[in-house]
Amino acid sequence: MKITVIGTGYVGLVTGTCLAEVGNEVLCLDLDPKKIDTLKAGGIPIFEPGLQDMVNRNVAAGRLSFTTDIEESVAYGEIQFIAVGTPPDEDGSADLQY
């Protein structure tokens, strides 16, 4: 299955990598070009034990890729997994404007 993961932070990158590990084709989107450049160069922007090896393995297998292109990522996935920060509103509820 083709899956788009929006966000490459602790939740998005780990989830996307695990989805690729079980055989899905995953495209991870982030609007931060530095993060995507790091990922495309074989690095990871966060620390999670074992994640570096898993990312490398799935990129090499062609199951995991990265982009900053919103249109490409939305068109890619049969499923869109959104993993972006949700800041609190003034009253403490989730501010969903993002």
Tokens of residue 60, six digits:
């090499």
Q: Per the confidence metrics, is the pTM higher than 0.85?
A: yes
Q: Which of 63, 56, 57 is nearest to 26 (CA)?
A: 63
∠ CA 63-68-70 to the nearest 5 degrees?
A: 95
Q: Residue 45: is its pLDDT beyond 80? A: yes
pLDDT-derived band at 10 (thresholds 50, 70, 90) equals very high
Helix 10-21 and helix 51-60: axis angle, to 10°? 50
Domains of the chain: 2-82 (3.40.50.720)
Burial (CB count <10 Å: 0-12, 13-18, 19+), residue 62 = exposed
Query: What percent of the chain has pLDDT above 70?
Result: 99
The per-residue pLDDT for 89 is 82
pLDDT-derived band at 98 (thresholds 50, 70, 90) equals low
pLDDT-derived band at 90 (thresholds 50, 70, 90) equals confident
